[in-house]
Amino acid sequence: MSEIISSDKLLKEFAPQIERTSLVGKIWIIFLIAVIFLGAFALYWQISRGHIVTGMRENVVWGVYIVNFIFFMGISYAGALISGSLHLFHAGWRKPIIRMAEFITIISLLIGPVFIMLCIGRLDRLPNLVLFGRIQSPITWDVIAISTDIVGCLLFLYLALLRDLAKMRDFTELKVPKWKKKMYKILALGYTGTAEQQIMLKRATDIMAGMVIAIAIIVYSVLAWIFSVTLQPGWHSTIFGPYFVIAAVYSGSGVLIVAMYIFRKTYHLEEHITLKHFVNVGVIMLVLAAFFGYFTFSEYLTKWYGSQKNDEQLIGILFKDYYLMFILSNYVGVLVPLIVVGFKKLRTINNITISAVIVIIALWLNRYLIVVPTLESPYLPIQDSREAWVHYSATWVEWSLTAAGVAMFCLLFTLASKLIPIVQVSDLKEEPKQVDDIYMK
């Protein structure tokens, strides 16, 4: 019995997003490419003149590049955890949003490691990481973990796409170029949705859903251990693994809400992505906000109470030089989602999206506060240290490349939505429409 039944109505609804690009869409793509070109120029500037054009120096050797790396890897793992969990727990409401979580996973996983490359002064020595890599080094763990994760997430995404690819292949009314048709045919692997094929696909997808959750936890913990195994004030912490994982999923839930909001507006998905979805992901964000707040409090309380010289110095810097950032990251970033999602009257799509934007900014700042102030207050002051080396301030080169990274994320997301429906068509059924007001009652 074929699973590919007449779902033409749904496909017809989503076909325009794949068939054509509106004028606004084209301007958006040109804008993103322009930002990427600015980043390319900054990269040329950095390579031709060396890392002296960045704000990184002998003391503060990591800056916004590492912050971006942690941030993008975080939202990637969040995407994997959210999509994997929703799949495994058969959450019925997940269907319209799970594809976005999967795209977030892959796209940010491809962009994140690029920022590490930008940090490396001698890229010609990069092969040494593989040729002479030591298993004892957390950097080696990270390389192994990220490459394993990329393969796993690609596989999971492909499994999740397979039924939609088959639908696109069989949808004769779709007006797309021949190469796209051919691509759908090759990638669909001849899947027709027979009972046997469904069982095999479900088995593989279930296993990979479990794997991406486990790998996401391990990989992000490994990333946290790069910091926590070092004897640096603010980094040498036993709770850094779970703290990073929670922060990652928290920021990822924010990115997912923003993506839901943008695609809902752009592709007019009001019928499929409703207030219910925003509230459900918002509740996930609320729970994570509470955990994130708890971990943050626990982390700083123990350091403050211990009163070790360097910890005191670090906390002094955080509450003096970085107090605005600290408040926005660890107070506003926690309290806003708790209030907005916690109070029923405030649960509107706009409010939840705004709190998600705040969460994203707060979590980026949180990573900045983890990386930079610690390097500004090391246990062992470097000999021949100059004042300019101790205080970090990112340059236009770093900001341009950061903007290019964000633009690349948006561009790849946009292009991905031009290849395959942003909503998982094969899982959707033509259900009675859910109206926001009905849900609110």
Residue 175 is a binding residue for another protein (CB under 8 A): no
Task: Show the site string, 253-292: x = touches another protein by CB under 8 A, - = not.
Answer: ----------------------------------------
Look up residue 9 and give its two tokens.
Answer: 């109505």
Cβ 139 vs Cβ 129: under 8 Å: yes
Q: Is 18 exposed, middle or buried (0-12, 13-18, 19+ CB in 10 A)?
A: buried
C-beta of 411: minimal distance to another protein in Å?
22
Q: What are the distances in angstroms from CA 8 to CA 168, 171, 173, 175, 429? A: 10, 7, 9, 14, 11
- Binding range to another protein, per CB under 8 A, among 185-193, 238-246, 286-294, 295-303: 185-193
CA–CA separation, 353 vs 365, rounded Å? 18
Q: Tokens 């997940």 map to which residue? A: 94
C-alpha span between 326 and 355 (Å, rounded) = 17
Which residue, 34 or 151, is less far from another protein as judged by CB? 151
| 175 three-state secondary structure | coil
Cβ nearer to another protein, comparing 9 with 134:
134
Total residues binding another protein (CB under 8 A): 63
Q: Do residues 220 and 74 touch, judged by C-beta distance below 8 A?
A: yes
Tokens 């036993």 correspond to: 238
* Residue 61 sits in the site that holds another protein (CB under 8 A): no
Asked if 161 is part of the footprint of another protein (rule: CB under 8 A), the reply reads: no
Question: Which of 27, 126, 200, 415 is close enough to bind another protein by CB under 8 A?
Answer: 200
Which residue in 23, 127, 131, 196 binds another protein (CB under 8 A)? 196
d(CA 121, CA 184): 41
Separation between Cα atoms, residue 185 and residue 400, nearest integer Å: 39
Between 374 and 417, whose beta carbon lies closer to another protein?
374
Check residue 335 for interaction with another protein (CB under 8 A). no
Kindly state whether residue 129 participates in binding another protein, applying the rule CB under 8 A: no
Region for 261 from its dihedrals, namely left if φ exceeds 0, alpha if ψ lies in -120 to 50, beta otherwise = alpha
Q: What are phi and psi of 91, to 5 degrees?
A: -65, 115
Q: Where does 122-239 have alpha helices with state H?
A: 128-131, 138-170, 178-187, 195-228
34, 207, 231, 440: which one contacts another protein (CB under 8 A)? 207
Piece in contact with another protein (CB under 8 A), picked from 69-77, 94-102, 203-211, 258-266: 203-211
User: Residue 274's CB: how many other CB atoms inside 10 A?
Assistant: 21
Cβ proximity to another protein, 91 vs 189, nearer residue: 189
Q: Which is nearer to another protein, 96 or 373 (CB)?
A: 373
**Taking the complex as a whole, how short is the minimal distance between the CB of residue 31 and another protein, in angstroms?**
19
Where in 215-244 is the site for another protein (CB under 8 A)? 215, 218
- CA angle (225 as vertex; 220, 229 as ends), nearest 5: 175
Of 92, 350, 438, 440, the one binding another protein by CB under 8 A: 350
Q: What is the DSSP string of 290-347?
A: HHHHHHHHHHHHHHHHHT-HHHHHHHHHHHHTTHHHHHIIIIIHHHHHHHHHHSGGG-
Q: Per rule CB under 8 A, is residue 351 in the interface with another protein?
A: yes
Contact present, 334 and 222 (Cβ < 8 Å): no
User: Between residues 13 and 149, which has the closer beta carbon with respect to another protein?
Assistant: 149
Contact window for another protein (CB under 8 A) among 23-31, 41-49, 76-84, 213-221: 213-221
Beta carbon of residue 179, minimum distance to another protein (angstroms, whole number): 21
Nearer of residues 116 and 371 to another protein, judged by Cβ: 371
Nearer to another protein by C-beta: 122 or 134? 134
The answer to whether 203 contacts another protein (rule: CB under 8 A) is yes
Binding mask 380-419 for another protein (x = CB under 8 A): -x-xxxxx--xxxxx-------------------------
Residue of 78, 255, 328, 411 that binds another protein (CB under 8 A): 328
By CB under 8 A, tell whether 358 contacts another protein: yes
**Which region, left, alpha or beta, applies to residue 90 given φ > 0 means left and ψ of -120 to 50 means alpha?**
left
Q: Which pair of tokens denotes residue 336?
A: 């806003």
- How many whole angstroms separate alpha carbon 217 and alpha carbon 320? 34
List of residues contacting another protein (CB under 8 A): 64, 134-136, 144, 148, 151-152, 155, 158-159, 162, 189-192, 194, 196-197, 200-201, 203-204, 207-208, 211, 214-215, 218, 313, 316-317, 320-322, 324-325, 328, 332, 336, 348, 350-351, 353-354, 357-358, 361, 365, 368, 376-377, 381, 383-387, 390-394
